[in-house]
């Protein structure tokens, strides 16, 4: 299994702990601090283990980004049948997690680093952030709203358009403002609830709309 195709759930708790230390090093010390020696020392593991688990430095970065993206939770198919209430709850969890991850020191550091490297030939961080970060989140969230449609709770002709409407309602221009130095939201729960209520009013079926006062 290549680290480029591995899902974060396939990493062990020990590997996740190493990735957490690597992310902290990046936040505290920038790109120069992210060396195999530095990560091995911070995580109390050998460099040989790092190479075995993640491959080269790009592999480590890829795993770090995928692990960070996995903190944004969505609906997992575990036999649960979606209802109007559970759909609302799952989308709110997604929205809150998304806001908290994007506003966190780690995501801001990764995005600022990628922006700083964007002019360099051969820089891979921006591509990794898209492929292992944003697109992983997009794929899982779109699966959630597709499940909502199949359950007769959402209606839309274009899942991609519906999802990007949700993303825009949740994030707006917050991430850009934070990258430029503005403080984050004081109440991510309120923003998440407001965004999900607006999304469900736009795309919810009669089943959902009938329960809207109780939901939002």
* Same domain (yes/no): 62, 163: no
Domain span at 29: 11-69
Q: Which of 22, 23, 52, 27 is nearest to 37 (CA)?
A: 22
**pLDDT band of 5, cuts 50, 70, 90:** very low
Residue 120 has a pLDDT of: 66
How far lies 174's CA from each of 92, 116, 167, 187, in Å? 17, 20, 11, 13
Weakest mean pLDDT among 7-16, 32-41, 85-94: 7-16
* Same domain (yes/no): 143, 171: yes
Mean pLDDT of the 131-148 span: 93
Percent of the chain with pLDDT over 90: 53
* Same domain (yes/no): 24, 99: no
Across 37-41, 94-98, 115-119, 182-186, the highest mean pLDDT is recorded for 94-98
* Same domain (yes/no): 95, 31: no
Q: What is the CATH number of the domain that holds 89?
A: 1.10.357.10
Rounded Cα–Cα distance for residues 35 and 42 (Å) = 10
Whats the size of the chain, residue-wise?
216
pLDDT at 1 over 60: no
Q: Which of 73, 61, 7, 16 is nearest to 35 (CA)?
A: 61
Q: Provide the domain count of the chain.
A: 2
CB-based contact 94:200 (threshold 8 Å)? no
* Same domain (yes/no): 57, 135: no
* Same domain (yes/no): 61, 140: no
pLDDT at 2 over 60: no
How far lies 137's CA from each of 59, 87, 201, 215, in Å? 19, 17, 23, 24
* Same domain (yes/no): 44, 92: no
Residue 11 has a pLDDT of: 84
* Same domain (yes/no): 166, 199: yes
pLDDT tens per residue, range 15-51: 999 999 999 998 888 778 888 899 999 999 999 999 9
């Amino acid at each position: 299994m290549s680290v480029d195709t591995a899902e974060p759930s396939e990493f062990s708790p020990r590997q996740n702990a190493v990735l957490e230390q690597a992310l902290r090093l990046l936040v505290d010390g920038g790109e120069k601090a992210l060396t195999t020696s530095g990560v091995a020392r911070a995580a109390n593991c050998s460099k040989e283990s790092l190479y075995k688990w993640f491959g080269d430095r790009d592999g480590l970065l890829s795993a770090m980004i995928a692990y960070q993206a996995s903190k944004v939770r969505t609906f997992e198919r575990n036999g649960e049948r979606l209802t109007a209430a559970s759909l609302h709850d799952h989308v709110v969890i997604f929205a809150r997690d998304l806001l908290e991850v994007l506003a966190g020191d780690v995501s801001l550091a990764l995005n600022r680093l990628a922006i700083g490297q964007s002019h360099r030939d051969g820089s891979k961080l921006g591509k990794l952030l898209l492929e292992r970060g944003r697109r992983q989140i997009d794929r899982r969230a779109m699966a959630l709203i597709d499940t909502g449609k199949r359950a007769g709770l959402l209606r839309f002709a274009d899942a991609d358009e519906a999802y990007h409407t949700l993303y825009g309602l949740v994030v707006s221009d917050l991430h850009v403002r934070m990258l430029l130095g503005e403080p984050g939201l004081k109440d991510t729960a309120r923003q998440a609830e407001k965004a999900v209520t607006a999304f469900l009013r736009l795309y919810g079926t009669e089943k959902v709309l009938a329960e809207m006062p109780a939901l939002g």
